[in-house]
Amino acid sequence: MGDFFPALTGIIPLLFIAVLRPLGIFIIMPLLTSKNLAGTMIRNSIIILITIPALPGLKENVFLSQPHVIDFYFFLALSREVFIGVLIGFVAAIPFWAIDSAGFLLDTMRGSSMGNIYNPTLAESSTLLGVFFSQLFTVIFFVCGGMNQLITTLYQSYVLFPPGESISFNRHLLDFVVQQWNMLFVLFLHFSIPAAAVMLLTDVGMGLLNRSAQQLNVFFLAMSVKSILALIVLMITIAFSLDYVRETLLRNLYSISTLWENIL
């Protein structure tokens, strides 16, 4: 019992600094916000549970084992830990933002964007297809190992980028962020283009039909036809699109290890 409290006193400061990276992930990752996890208490408990397995490997870290003065440099080191977590969460959140944007585009093109509902995945309002795509990809994310890869990337960051290391804000970091933004648009277009192209061709066809049958109410007819054709195309392509999004997410999380080596 006498050895318990000294050991606990040494673990608490270590845990305080180590939780900042998963906290950064939970701040930006749509699935892991306090709203989706039914409160801040549950979110913080999950953060601590994720952090505990990494503590034995951090005991020998020089930055964590030495006492620190609470000054500007100490808070700078803490902000670096949060920044690393936010960067990992940013990479993991991109597919969710992309497919929600794709759903918004398709609902706008088929004339149903006014029917917004609450999207529990992103904790904000979204369109019908945006909610459907987000929840479908959430299932794929957990079933196909996305969460495991996210936690693995977090633990690898402790090895490749130990707490206390300085970050070099060089071209590699900027290129990585730009690449991720570019990937967001690539995923957005990859997911939405097949159905969007069909609806665009439907609009062209309805426009030509209106030239020959001007009494026909093409506007309301086109909404129904576009919705039916878009859903048929989505039924054909959604499996391939979701698989591409999943592979891109896992590949991007894996590529973060290369980024740590370039910004040290």
- 3: pLDDT strictly greater than 60: no
Lowest mean pLDDT among 76-90, 133-147, 188-202, 247-261: 247-261
pLDDT at residue 55 is higher than 50: yes
> In the chain, pLDDT over 70 holds for what percent of residues?
73
The per-residue pLDDT of the chain, averaged, comes to 77
In this predicted model, what pLDDT tens digit does every residue of 225-235 receive, in sequence order?
A: 888 888 888 88
* Band of pLDDT at residue 4, cut at 50, 70 and 90: very low
Q: How many residues does the chain have?
A: 264
pLDDT at 123: 63
Q: Is beta strand 117-119 parallel, antiparallel or unpaired with respect to 124-126?
A: antiparallel
Among 65-79, 99-113, 231-245, the minimum mean pLDDT is found in 65-79
Packing angle of the helix pair 20-28, 4-18 (nearest 10 deg): 40
Structure tokens at 221: 């007819």
What local confidence, expressed as pLDDT, does residue 183 receive?
85
Q: What backbone phi and psi angles, to 5 degrees, belong to 204?
A: -65, -45
How far apart are the C-alpha atoms of 153 and 115, rounded to whole Å? 38
- Would you state the pLDDT for residue 181? 85
Beta strands in the chain (DSSP E): 117-119, 124-126
Predicted confidence (pLDDT) at residue 114 exceeds the cutoff of 70: no
Q: What is the pTM of this model?
A: 0.80
For position 252, what pLDDT does the model report?
77
Average pLDDT on 42-53 reads 84
Indicate if the pLDDT at residue 33 is higher than 60. Answer: yes
Is 139 in a helix, a strand, or coil?
A: helix
Q: Which residues pair with 117 in a beta bridge?
A: 126
